[in-house]
Amino acid sequence: MAHPRKPVTAGPLTLELQLRYAYTPGGLRPYFEALQQGQALASRCPQCQRIWFPPRLLCSYDRSTTEWVRLSGRGRIISVTCGTSRLPLAQTSSHHCFALLALDGADNASFARVIGDERVLQKGARVRLSAAAAATPHPAQSACFVVDDK
Ligand SMILES: [Zn+2]
C-alpha cells in the first residue's frame, strides 16, 4: 500500500546536520603561520609567473606546483560590504566588514575581513594586512586588513 505523500510545499522542511572532522593545514601551514604574524605569504607559479593570494599549492591556471613568495600585504579595496554576520565556527554574530581586495603583487583578487572606520573603508581605499587582534577559531580568519595610512 502506497503511503500518502505530503506535498513539499505544505510547510517548512527541517533538516539538522552535524559534522565533525579534524584536519591539519598540510602544505598551507607556512601561509597560516605567516597570517598569524600579519604577513602575506603568496604563491608564484614558475610556469606562468602568476602570483596567487591566498596561495595555491598548484597554479589555478596550469596546475604547476607553485613556490612561496612574500608580498607586502598592502593593497586596495575593490568592493566592500558591512553588516551583521557570524564568522565560521563563531558562536555569536556581530558587525563585520568584508572586502574584495587587489593585493599589490597578486594577480587574483582576494576576499578578506577589513577592520576600521566604515567611512574610510570604501572602494579604492588602501589597506594592509594586520594580524587579527584576538585568537580566531580558524587560522584563515587571521586575514584581517586595516586602513593603510602610511
Ligand atoms: Zn601557472
Ligand 1 centroid, distance to 66 Cα (angstroms) = 8
Q: What is the pLDDT of residues 115-133, one digit of tens each?
A: 999 999 999 999 999 976 6
Residues with CB under 5 A from ligand 1 (ion): 45, 47-48, 59, 61-62, 64
Ligand 1 centroid, distance to 111 Cα (angstroms) = 21
Q: What is the pLDDT of residues 131-149, one digit of tens each?
A: 766 677 777 777 899 999 8
Ligand 1 centroid, distance to 46 Cα (angstroms) = 7
Q: Do 86 and 93 touch, CB atoms closer than 8 A?
A: yes
Q: How much is the pTM?
A: 0.80
- Residue 92 exposure: Cα atoms within 13 Å on the Cβ side: 2
Torsions phi, psi of 140, nearest 5?
Answer: -65, -25
Q: If you average pLDDT over residues 62-90, what whole number do you get?
A: 94
Alpha-carbon span 150 to 55, nearest angstrom:
26
The pLDDT of residue 21 is 80
